[in-house]
Amino acid sequence: MEPLQYEFYIGASPEKVWEVLTSPEGTRATFYGSELRSSFEVGEPFAYVGPGNDGEETVHVYGKVLAYEPQKVLSLSEHPGPSYYANHEELESRITFTLEPVGNCTKLTLVNDQYTPDHPSRAKAADSWWMVMSILKTYAETGKTLDLGW
C-alpha cells in the first residue's frame, strides 16, 4: 500500500508542537478526546485511550514505540483497538511524526506506512489524518480546537 504523507507548517515552536503531540492535554484536544499513554521508552507499549465503543476507556490504537527523540521524532507501530476488528493484532502500520524548525515555525511531517496487506483502516486514515493534523495545527497556534460540528 502507498504510504500516507502529510506536511504542515505550524506557527509554533517545536517544543509547543511536541507538547501537543505527546501530552495528555494536547492529545485529548487533537485526537478525538483520546489520551496518549506511554512511558515513551523505545520498545515499550503505547495506547491512545478515550471515549468510544467501549466507553471512556476505549483503546483506539495501540502498539510499540519505535523512536522517541523529544522535539524531533516520534515513531510508533500501531494496531487498531480490539473493539474495531477481531483480528486487530494482525493489522499493523507505522506512524512517524517528524518535527523540523523553520524560522519561527515548525514543519511537521507525518508518514503513515508499512500497512499489512488489505488493512481495512487505511482508507479511513487517508481521510481522517487531514482533520487530525488541521486540529493539531490550530491547537498549537491558538490553544483552541477547530469546531467541526462533532
* Residue 108 bridge partners (DSSP): 8, 99
* Structural domains in the chain plus CATH codes: 4-142 (3.30.530.20)
Residue 73 in contact with residue 97, Cβ under 8 Å? yes
Handedness of CA 62, 40, 144, 12 (dihedral sign): negative
Cell of 110: 507525518
Residue 44 in contact with residue 65, Cβ under 8 Å? yes
pLDDT in tens, 26-77: 999 999 899 999 999 999 999 999 999 888 899 999 999 999 999 999 999 9
pLDDT in tens, 75-112: 999 999 999 999 999 999 999 999 999 999 999 999 99
